Amino acid sequence: MEKIAEKKHHAAQWFKELRDQFCSSFQKIDGGEFKRKKWNHKEEGGGEMSIMKGKVFEKVGVNISTVSGNFSEEYRSKIKGTENSPKYWASGISLVAHMKSPKIPAFHFNTRFLVTGESWFGGGADMTPTTVNKKDTKHFHDKMKEACSPYNKKYYPEFKKKCDEYFYLPHRKEARGEGGIFFDYLNTGHWGKDFSFVKGVGLRTLEAITEIVKLHKDLQWSDNEKEAQLIKRGRYVEFNLIWDRGTLFGLKTGDTISGSFKTGSDGSIDLTSITEGNYTGSYKLSATDTKKIINIIDVSEVLDLSTGLSKCVEPIVIYLSKAICSFEYP
């Protein structure tokens, strides 16, 4: 049986290898080049963001991190294995891809290995098209089934259900996209099999994305289709700001944030009397501003997804706003 140090090493090494495979495949399709930027965690470890703005991929980020530290007292009680110690170690990979063509869906993927007094894998993959293409949906879900079936016949239906429930906008009563799979706290007692499953999810996701992108990248689109894509991106950031577990996790471990959040049918976002730390203000993101959501490639740009801890020096609400549009302090 492998020791926990060896498991950590193998997991972190795999996430790095998978990052390189994603980047290499996407560069071959696009002709562009990823730019990388390292960052340091405020306790121990850090990560590296790889971002490409290309001809096919309007903006795609493939980010990895390996960090360790102590959970806050507030969140310690909500995490498994922290009864005797707040210490944690986490490594993972996160990908978000937004396309220039509205004919190609946006894709999200992440997998992680987290160690406290216990250890487990988590992650998943999902697809968000502008307009539903049933063949693409079937293609993507078939790949998820391929990843799940060799390990447990119940995995796909269970993880699909969790994904459908998670990526849902309650106030709009609509799903964010066409779903995929989502899993957490995966520890069957057979680490090697669990790790093999997680690797398979990554590889099948890579296949699904590259195959779907190649299928549609040369198709023409209309101005109306592009407009619909931009509005869809507004929904994407709406989910990340209001419902995303990683975002909420980070906000809960940092300063207290309060205020109201309203969204318009045209894609506008109105944040009123936002208070965070010593900052208080109100501002509105117009429908035009929310179309610039491509500038938020992933919450991992501002949060360490492994722990949910903020990587921002300034208030995270302001940071996110600046990333969406040309924000000016009131």
- Which residues are marked as active site? 108
| Number of other residues whose CB lies within 10 A of the CB of residue 233 | 23
Q: In what order do the strands lie in the sheet with 106-115?
A: 35-40, 44-52, 57-70, 87-99, 106-115, 119-128, 180-186
Q: Alpha-carbon distance 304 to 311, whole Å?
A: 7
Q: Which amino acid would we find at residue 295? A: N
Neighbours of 180 (CB within 10 A): 26
**Rounded CA separation 286/294 (Å):** 15
Q: Which of 296, 213, 245 is nearest to 30 (CA)?
A: 213
Q: Tell me the two tokens of residue 81.
A: 């294995």
Chain centroid to CA 212: how far?
19
Report CA 233 to chain centroid distance, whole Å.
14
Report d(CA 47, CA 62) in Å as an integer: 11
| DSSP assignments along 8-34, one per residue | HHHHHHHHHHHHHHHHHHHHHHH----
Computed from CA positions of residues 90, 195, 210, 159, in that sequence, does the dihedral angle turn out positive or negative?
A: negative
- Using DSSP, state whether 164 is helix, strand or coil: helix
- DSSP class of residue 217? T
